[in-house]
Amino acid sequence: MSQLPVKFYSHSQSSSDVGLSWSSTAGNFHAPTDIPKEFGGNENGFSPEDYFAFALQNCFIATFKVIASKSKLLYDNISVHLTLELGSDENQLMMMKAALLKVSITGSINHERTLRILDKTTKSCMIHNSVKTKIEFEFDVN
């Protein structure tokens, strides 16, 4: 592991027109970004809600892969489907209320060991540990 702190950088810039998408950049990667239809946008790119969902699910996958590799766990594939629920807090402020991650592991020979590593992953994902969104999991190992 690298020396801490590790820093990551991103950049986004947009015109004032709410109907126009914009570009978000991280390193050499560019992604179209837009406001969801539910909030008056045109959906010509990923929304901030999409990026949040991506961060939750891909942090889980990355963390699982690292832990599984260090544990020498053999499996064929990991797949995560995420449902993100928006809502409001006690002060009526909009927030990402809850996320359900349906995680599927295929090709694992050791079912119990895989479940233990999945459980460890739920506690080790940096992004999950950094947000107040309620995060729930459903596991399917076969």
The predicted pLDDT at position 1 comes to 61
Mean pLDDT, residues 62-75 taken together: 97
The predicted pLDDT at position 116 comes to 98
Question: How many separate domains does the chain show?
Answer: 2
Indicate whether 68 and 126 sit together in one domain.
yes
In 3-state terms the chain splits into helix, strand, coil percentages (rounded to 5) of 30, 35, 35
Mean pLDDT, residues 29-58 taken together: 94
Mean pLDDT, residues 16-28 taken together: 92
CATH number at residue 132: 3.30.300.20
The predicted pLDDT at position 74 comes to 96
User: Of all helices (H) and strands (E), which one includes residue 109?
Assistant: none
Indicate whether 67 and 131 sit together in one domain.
yes
Indicate whether 13 and 72 sit together in one domain.
no
Indicate whether 100 and 35 sit together in one domain.
no
Asked if pLDDT for residue 20 goes beyond 70, the answer is yes
The predicted pLDDT at position 3 comes to 87
86 backbone dihedrals φ, ψ, rounded to 5°: -90, 150
Planar angle of CA 87, 122, 51, nearest 5 degrees: 45
Q: CB-based contacts of 24: which residues, under 8 Å, 6+ apart? A: 10, 11, 12, 30, 31, 32, 33, 46, 51
Domain that holds residue 40: 1-46
**Minimum mean pLDDT among 1-5, 38-42, 72-76, 78-82: which range?**
1-5
The predicted pLDDT at position 18 comes to 86
- Domain boundary among the residues 16, 31, 46 is at 46
Indicate whether 107 and 96 sit together in one domain.
yes
The predicted pLDDT at position 31 comes to 95
Asked if pLDDT for residue 138 goes beyond 70, the answer is yes
- Domain boundary among the residues 13, 30, 46 is at 46
Indicate whether 60 and 12 sit together in one domain.
no
Question: Cβ(75)–Cβ(106) under 8 Å?
Answer: yes
Indicate whether 34 and 52 sit together in one domain.
no
Question: What pLDDT, in 10s, does the model give residues 79-107?
Answer: 999 999 999 989 999 999 999 999 999 99
Indicate whether 100 and 74 sit together in one domain.
yes
Indicate whether 11 and 81 sit together in one domain.
no
Asked if pLDDT for residue 59 goes beyond 80, the answer is yes
Measured between its terminal Cα atoms, the distance across the chain in Å is: 31
